[in-house]
């Protein structure tokens, strides 16, 4: 489990296509300090398992399901990625509960400067996902815990503070980019309980 608080930006070394899926290799620093083979690492919000480690990089295998549901298959050498280690039981929950199980990708509609380093970002979600999203609710976008500031149909808007813009991949994206989307797990559980009740 993760929190959506990005620890560092990694850099893609290689995305190697394989007979089934792919292998992703990423340069990193902070998140590798206590990593071991088999450790979970969230890459753009997708929980991956480190299968190879050096002091400066890790590799993870991407299943066909991961490639079909996320933007990881779009990555190229040199691309920046959001990285986060799993939440420790003794740690602070600064964001919200993020499982690292990406539901779908959303399209970046716009990211406009508001002044003083603040930004207004809008994303278009797949219509089936929109029913889970509420104003002032939490949403993981490329692994970043964000608060929904407005929603209209399937377009959600967020105010992005300078720290988030500068220390995540958001400053690298342009309209049309695909962003990983994870709906708040509590919303999905509540829906299932109501439907089965």
CA within 13 Å, CB half, 139: 32
Point out the catalytic residue in the list 2, 39, 42, 164: 2
* Mean pLDDT confidence for 128-133: 92
Taking the whole predicted model, whether its pTM rises above 0.75 is answered as yes
Point out the catalytic residue in the list 101, 154, 171, 187: 101
Q: How far apart are CA 88 and CA 160, in angstroms?
A: 26
What pLDDT score was predicted for residue 184? Answer: 84
Is residue 164 annotated as part of the catalytic site, yes or no?
Answer: no
Which domains are delineated in the chain? 8-84 (2.40.30.20), 104-196 (2.40.30.20)
What pLDDT score was predicted for residue 88? Answer: 80
Q: Please determine, for residue 145, whether its predicted confidence score (pLDDT) is greater than 70.
A: yes
Point out the catalytic residue in the list 39, 47, 50, 106: 47
Tens digit of each residue's pLDDT (9 = 90 or more) over 12-70: 999 999 999 999 999 999 999 999 999 999 999 999 999 999 999 999 999 999 999 99
Give the model's confidence band at 197: pLDDT under 50 very low, under 70 low, under 90 confident, else very high: low
Give the model's confidence band at 95: pLDDT under 50 very low, under 70 low, under 90 confident, else very high: confident
Q: Look over the chain and give the mean of its residue pLDDT values, rounded to a whole number.
A: 94
Which residues are CB-contacts of 163 (< 8 A; sequence separation ≥ 6)?
none
Is residue 63 annotated as part of the catalytic site, yes or no?
Answer: yes
Tens digit of each residue's pLDDT (9 = 90 or more) over 171-189: 999 999 999 999 988 877 7
Give the model's confidence band at 89: pLDDT under 50 very low, under 70 low, under 90 confident, else very high: confident
Beta strand 118-124 with 40-43 is unpaired
Give, as one character, the DSSP assignment of residue 2.
B
- State the greatest distance between any 2 C-alpha atoms of the chain, in Å, as a whole number: 51
What pLDDT score was predicted for residue 60? Answer: 98
Q: How far apart are CA 78 and CA 6, in angstroms?
A: 19
* Mean pLDDT confidence for 142-169: 97
Is residue 3 annotated as part of the catalytic site, yes or no?
Answer: no
Is residue 101 annotated as part of the catalytic site, yes or no?
Answer: yes
Task: At 63, give phi and psi (nearest 5°).
Answer: -75, 160
Is residue 50 annotated as part of the catalytic site, yes or no?
Answer: no
Q: Please determine, for residue 11, whether its predicted confidence score (pLDDT) is greater than 70.
A: yes
């Amino acid at each position: 489990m993760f929190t959506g608080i990005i620890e560092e930006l990694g850099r893609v070394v290689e995305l190697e296509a394989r007979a089934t899926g792919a292998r992703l290799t990423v340069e990193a620093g902070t998140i590798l300090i206590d990593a071991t083979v088999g450790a979970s690492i969230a890459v753009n919000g997708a929980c991956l398992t480190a299968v190879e480690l050096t002091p400066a990089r890790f590799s993870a295998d991407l299943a066909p399901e991961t490639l079909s549901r996320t933007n990881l298959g779009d990555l190229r050498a040199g691309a920046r990625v959001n990285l986060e280690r799993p939440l420790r039981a003794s740690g602070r929950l600064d964001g919200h509960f993020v499982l690292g199980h990406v539901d779908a990708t959303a399209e970046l509609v716009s990211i406009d400067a508001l002044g003083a380093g603040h930004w207004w970002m809008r994303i278009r979600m797949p219509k089936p996902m929109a029913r889970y999203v509420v104003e002032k609710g939490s949403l993981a976008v490329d692994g970043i815990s964000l608060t929904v500031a407005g929603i209209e149909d399937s377009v959600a808007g967020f105010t992005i503070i300078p720290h988030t813009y500068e220390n995540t991949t958001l400053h690298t994206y342009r309209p049309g980019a695909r962003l990983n989307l994870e709906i708040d797990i509590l919303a999905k559980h509540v829906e299932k309980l109501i439907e089965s009740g």
